[in-house]
Structure 1
Amino acid sequence: MAEEKINKVTIIGSGPAGYTAAIYAARANLQPVVFAGGPTLEHPQRVPGGQLMVTTDVENYPGFPEAITGPELMDRFQKQAERFGTTIHMENVVKVDFSQRPFLIQGESVSCRSETVIISTGATAKWLGVKGEDTYKNRGVSACATCDGAFFKKQDVLVVGGGDTAMEEATYLAKIVNHVTLIHRRDTLRASKVMQERARQNPKISFMWDSAVEEVLGDAKGMNGAVVRNLKTGDSQQVKATGLFVAIGHTPNTELFQGVLETHQGGYLKTVPGSTRTNIEGVFACGDVQDHYYRQAITAAGTGCMAAIDAERWLIEHGE
């Protein structure tokens, strides 16, 4: 392990939030260090750059009228951060100690101490884990209607889930697609009454109760249907659809901070309203790790900017 260095700002995580925080911190001459993350035994598919790294065309990020792929967008973010002097380690943080300052951040091969820490570890979408799902991700299978719904204009799609997120996804998609079939494992919904009624009253939304997707079907062009089984009768049927939106929730990547930083019931890091401050002085959080509502690249980048400014002002206030 290399000798510990004391940083002004250390950013744990990358993606739009982490890299934006790095850009702002670097331009403030704070010489930020980023631990960009990578695959783990629990999450072998996790890569530096966040969820956009498994996104094909990004059409809703301002400034790219012709669209841009997720990996290319993240590559530009990274290069911009490096241009202003950010040091980036392509590895995970395995241990933190926030009990005293400078805080200890221990990576897989690099260890350092830091006056402030910005957490941007993001969240991971929950998937169904069925045959064909991985094959057709970004070729019909998605976990974000706001991100990908526009690709399915006047087509038939499926939404899986029974909570508020599923109702929101279905209602949003109904404005764009030909028809939405909502598939739920039970015969009652967990969603709030308002969201339920909104979906039920929409003529473009129908329900398949007591049902679960067993397999995603498709060909070289992409997804073209799914095998859906009725959990009460055991009968299966093929349902034609060009899109499948999995809306069963996200898991914030907060394992490293359990018992250290305050979280909401769903596990997302708590921040002081209107800021990115956590319950520990000098530790800030931005992006999807603290945002269970919007979960967009542009909002993540915005909170990354906020976190860098919050960290800079905190350092000034404490004479650093």
Structure 2
Amino acid sequence: MSQANGQSNHEKVIIIGSGPAGYTAAIYAARAELKPLMFSGMQPGGQLMITTDVENYPGYPEGIMGPEMMEDFRKQAERFGTRIKYEPVVKVDLESTPKRLWSDSGEEYTADSVIISTGAKAKWLGIEAEEKYANKGVSACAVCDGFFFRGKEVVIVGGGDTAAEEALYLSKLATTVHMLVRRDALRASKIMAARVQAAENVKVYWNTEAFDISGDDKVEQVHVRNNKTGEEQAIDASAFFVAIGHKPSTEIFDGQITMDDAGYIIVDAGTSKTNLEGVFACGDAADKVYRQAVTAAGTGCMAALDAERWLAAQEAPVSA
């Protein structure tokens, strides 16, 4: 390894986080002979490790299990020389030169450049049944999983733009979309709210919250309560979609990287560049719009190319 400031743990590129974005960045960086070191995080492979069937990623015509797909990504990254440490980074100093990072084991590392691909996690209601029926009808991504429930009744929870968009998406697949809104109005934009209420097969339940899910090893009924009257009822449904937002896993960068109010890293338009020189962000940590495996992989490619070009510019001789 090269050395900086006497440190033996110095790298040209360190990738924080795995998943489609991190692994793709690793593949491109490794093929560019940058010998990347990846910290996989607490959940190697990201959210796809808790996803069953993936049918919308190009190249898998028969679909593939999420963990199997991430294993393919990992093997490809390692084939070109990526080294992976199966632990999270718990502290960073990205404003220093070189960048400084500390792993969960207490080891300090330095790097010329850093690629952030720490992802985001879906927000859940917190009811026990969400975990019980995970991948058995419970989902936080209608675009990912709605296809499996064509011709069936589904429930979606949420009142913002994301929930409205996903309810409309589901309305094209499901016979009925039961939309649970805990207030007496949608928080979504007026145009999205109007579209939801105009959709014939979207049934909105105002002032309503889910408190349980039941079924024989899969979602069959969603139990809801009106938070004004206290009235309870069971809705027959084959799926339960939660659309109350995502939380990006970017806490350790707070105060150093420019983020929006929700914690998503802000990058220069059309690039993966952050406000810090030599620091790049990709995947769901910087994407609150699409949040798909294929778009995450695309931005992982961008981050590696941006890092490679930035490193080359640092090494280029200054012309007289």
TMscore range, shorter length: over 0.9
| Whole-Å separation in 1 of the counterparts to 2:191 and 2:305 | 38
Deviates more, 1:72-81 or 1:103-112: 103-112
| Whole-Å separation in 1 of the counterparts to 2:70 and 2:301 | 16
> How far does residue 4 in structure 1 lie from its aligned partner after superposition?
4.0
Structure 2 counterpart of 1:230: 226
Structure 1 counterpart of 2:21: 17
Letter of the structure 2 residue corresponding to residue 17 of structure 1: A
> How far does residue 35 in structure 1 lie from its aligned partner after superposition?
0.3
Structure 1 counterpart of 2:160: 163
Structure 1 counterpart of 2:192: 195
| Whole-Å separation in 2 of the counterparts to 1:4 and 1:126 | 40
Letter of the structure 2 residue corresponding to residue 302 of structure 1: G
Letter of the structure 1 residue corresponding to residue 16 of structure 2: I
Gaps of 5+ in 2: 1-6
Letter of the structure 2 residue corresponding to residue 215 of structure 1: D
| Whole-Å separation in 2 of the counterparts to 1:75 and 1:272 | 31
Letter of the structure 1 residue corresponding to residue 41 of structure 2: G
| Whole-Å separation in 1 of the counterparts to 2:77 and 2:8 | 22
- CA deviation digits over 1:147-204, x for unaligned, max 9? 0010000000001000000000000001111110100111111000011011111101
| Whole-Å separation in 1 of the counterparts to 2:307 and 2:266 | 16
| Whole-Å separation in 2 of the counterparts to 1:153 and 1:111 | 50
Contact conserved, 1:186 with 1:209, CA < 8 A, in 2?
A: yes
Structure 2 counterpart of 1:8: 12
| Whole-Å separation in 2 of the counterparts to 1:82 and 1:111 | 23
> How far does residue 131 in structure 1 lie from its aligned partner after superposition?
2.9
Structure 2 counterpart of 1:33: 37
Runs of 4+ in structure 1 off by over 3 angstroms are none
> How far does residue 99 in structure 1 lie from its aligned partner after superposition?
2.4
* 1:118 corresponds to 2:115: yes
Structure 1 counterpart of 2:126: 129
Contact conserved, 2:95 with 2:276, CA < 8 A, in 1?
A: no
* Secondary structure in 2 matching 1:63: coil
Matches within 5 A, 1:267-306: 267-306=263-302
Q: How many residues of Structure 1 are paired with residues of Structure 2 in the alignment?
A: 309
Structure 1 counterpart of 2:3: none
Contact conserved, 2:20 with 2:297, CA < 8 A, in 1?
A: yes
| Whole-Å separation in 2 of the counterparts to 1:194 and 1:17 | 33
Structure 1 counterpart of 2:79: 83
Instruction: Say which of 85, 90, 97 aligns to 1:94.
Output: 90
- CA deviation digits over 1:265-285, x for unaligned, max 9? 221000000000000000000
Letter of the structure 2 residue corresponding to residue 37 of structure 1: G
> How far does residue 215 in structure 1 lie from its aligned partner after superposition?
0.2
Letter of the structure 1 residue corresponding to residue 222 of structure 2: A
Matches within 5 A, 1:259-270: 259-270=255-266
TM-score, normalised to structure 1's length?
A: 0.95
